[in-house]
Amino acid sequence: MDKKILNQIASQMVSESKGILAMDESHGTCEKRFNALGITVNEENRRSYRDMLVTAESLPKYISGAILFDETIKQKISEGTNFPDFLNKIGILPGIKVDTGAKPFSCHENEKITEGLDNLPQRMEEYKSLGAKFAKWRAVITIADNIPSSACMIANSHALARYASICQEFDIVPIVEPEVLMDGSHDIHKCFNVTNTMQSILFEELDKLDVVNSGIILKPNMITSGANCEVQSDTNEIAELTVKCLGNNVPKDVPGIAFLSGGQSDEDASNNLNEINKLNNNPWKVTFSYGRALQLEAMKKWNGDNNNNLEAQKIISKRSYLNSLAASGKYELSMENQ
Ligand code: 13P
């Protein structure tokens, strides 16, 4: 492990108000998104859709890294270059999702444990040889009656720490993602309490396994009301509680925090990130690592037809630009219509 290399990569991932494009949907998730739009699900469509995303002309101005799926890191863009080589050439760091998904957690109904530690060192070696500079592992925590259990938060945090340690052995920066889902009718205070507990357990586990803070990126949820909660919090409360939670738990030597969008609308994801940046006076950079809130409108415009590439690329470029402004507190809702 080379701490200097890890810190250089992690710092680059969150520098210049750039953010990370999460384009690492598993086959199942990609199928769900394509099906919803009536796009034919096959390998070539997954490849050409992602080709459209990464070849959007102004992307490298706003995006520092792109998280790829196992299939994509081994594919080529249309001009014949491998995805990771192309990304490196245009100044975007290639990353790779390495967890194998959230599976039912033994003896804990309705809870999930993320798997993927088996053979991880061997897979990491392969991904490194393919050009990956960072990786991602997502733990999923659900809020409902009597859950999450401590057991679920401890097991997922321990797995995240094992994963992060293996990444660092290979000088690959781990994105550590403890996602507390927005699903449910809980209020924002419940979300705060669960996220606060999860992040506290997570940083304890990372510390126990000697994971180097200066060589990780945290990818958390924002603190919001549940999607079905009758009272939806405003952006000021979201920003205030999110910064408070991070301030309680994230060590100061973590270089950056890159939020997931979690099902928020494009505008909410940008606006909330903007308010969080206005409030944050901790040393870590605070940016985005969005999937849906960067891609969904572009995917709709593309619609399985490469003749729509230019129009779809305008949309992904615009969302990347607006989120990059939000990563420095310079976004305004009125910009959406310009
Ligand atoms: P969303 O921004 O769509 O939540 O996805 C981010 C991600 O990478 C989830 O693992």
pLDDT for res 63 = 98
Contact predicate 65/13, CB 8 Å: yes
Q: How much is the average pLDDT of 142-170?
A: 98
How much distance in Å is there from the Cα of 289 to the middle of ligand 1?
7
How much distance in Å is there from the Cα of 181 to the middle of ligand 1?
11
| Per-state percent for the chain, helix, strand, coil, to nearest 5 | 50, 15, 35
Active site residue 177: yes
Atom of ligand 1 nearest to the CA of 269: 2
pLDDT tens track for 235-255 = 999 999 999 999 999 999 999
Atom of ligand 1 nearest to the CA of 138: 10
CB-side neighbour CA atoms (13 Å) of 249:
25
How much distance in Å is there from the Cα of 217 to the middle of ligand 1?
14
DSSP labels for 252-285?
Answer: TT--EEEE--TT--HHHHHHHHHHHHHH--SSSE
CATH code of the domain in which 235 resides: 3.20.20.70
Contact predicate 23/71, CB 8 Å: no
Q: Which two tokens stand for residue 82?
A: 């491998």
Please state the pTM of the whole predicted model: 0.98
Residue 330 has pLDDT above 90, yes or no: yes
Give dist(CA 210, CA 230) in Å, integer.
42
Atom 5 of ligand 1: nearest residue by CA position:
291
pLDDT tens track for 61-80 = 999 999 999 999 999 999 99
Active site residue 128: no
User: What domain range includes position 153?
Assistant: 3-337
pLDDT for res 222 = 98
Give the containing element (helix H, strand E) for 313: helix 309-326
**Residue of 13, 26, 181, 261 with the most ligand 1 atoms within 8 Å of its CB, for mutation:** 261
Give dist(CA 59, CA 183) in Å, integer.
31
Count the domains in the chain.
1
Give the containing element (helix H, strand E) for 86: helix 83-89
pLDDT for res 338 = 86
Q: How much is the average pLDDT of 124-140?
A: 98
Please give the share of the chain, as a percent, with pLDDT higher than 70. 100
Q: Give ∠ CA 140-202-71 in degrees, rounded to 5.
A: 45
Burial (CB count within 10 angstroms: exposed 0-12, middle 13-18, buried 19+), residue 119: exposed
**Pocket lining for ligand 1, CB < 6 angstroms:** 22, 138, 177, 260-262, 290-293
Q: How much is the average pLDDT of 134-154?
A: 98
Residue 207 has pLDDT above 90, yes or no: yes
Mean pLDDT for the chain?
98
